[in-house]
Structure 1
Amino acid sequence: LVPLEDGDRCEALRAMGKAVVTIDLNPLSRTARTATLTIVDELTRALPGITTACAMLSPVERDHLIASLDNTYILRAAIDDMRERLAHALE
């Protein structure tokens, strides 16, 4: 889990072949774009949900989830969600 605002560390860990999970409010940040898995959320709001979800996964489910991660898809979905909310922000 990479600390906030640490794109350099994230890039270095990825260059070493490490899987990197980051929690970032900005899906366009260098850290978010470099990570293996980006959770676009606020840290204290995200951690309880992550902990609960991980505790419920079986080893087979965990392995399948890891193998099927697509961070680009996740970031695009977050940006699309933000765009949709902004489109209605002044209503």
Structure 2
Amino acid sequence: MATYRASDSKREQFRRYLEKSGVIDTLTSVLVALYEEPDKPNNALDFIKLHLGAAGLDPAGTEGLRLELADLQQKCSLLTEENKELWKRLMQYEALPDEKADL
């Protein structure tokens, strides 16, 4: 019986935590919006994510960001290669004064 009360106590603490942080109110408002939606969405989970702000950008915006990411990754690779090439050339020129000093 003692473990049952401990479990209820933890459950009650968790409920108060959710209530205090606004989670219960937010979830309630999203579920009410889903309930009041005249044309129920095919995917209720996507509806909830969208209304909680977890869905992020719309697919068109996401695709634009993916294209931008791919472009920036390609530019980064090109600049990395250019940097390596410039370091090689720099090392060649810095090695020359040492060789001249030996002569």
Query: Normalising by structure 2, what TM-score?
Result: 0.28
Question: With CA pairs under 8 Å and 6+ residues apart, which has the higher RCO, 1 or 2?
Answer: 1
Larger gyration radius, structure 1 or structure 2: 2
Higher helix proportion = 2
Select the structure that is richer in strand: 1
